[in-house]
Amino acid sequence: MRTPAGKECKYFYGDYYRGKNAEECRLIGHQPPPNHWTADLCKACPVPGILQANSCPNMTLSASIKRKLPGLKRKVIITAYCSRSQGIVKEPHVGCGLCHDLPDAFIEEQ
């Protein structure tokens, strides 16, 4: 579904049927304030970019909302876990490196 920021994200849900205006992020869930989801977080959220770059079925995303200092803007922090390699994925846009091998044309011979 398209987010308020105009990006496609499978975790965003909006119910606008018959005048309803219910929106939620199903990745972040219902957290107590000040870590609750609001539509302004979609502008800088990295999840739509990760989903577009890497659609690995073994990668599971988890999200949290953090502030560096009180009073500053909130930011979505993403953690990715690969169930095949049994570890944290350092770069979710690329993946763990085990699930999707590079073609031989991209591998340098030493």
Per-domain boundaries in the chain: 12-96
Phi-psi region of 97 (alpha: psi -120 to 50; beta: other; left: phi over 0): left
Please report the sign of the dihedral spanned by the C-alpha atoms of residue 100, residue 13, residue 2, residue 27. Answer: negative
Res 67: pLDDT: 87
Per-residue pLDDT of 60-85, as tens digits, reads: 999 999 987 877 889 999 999 999 99
pTM for this structure? Answer: 0.82
Q: What's the mean pLDDT in 39-48?
A: 94
Better pLDDT: 107 or 54: 54
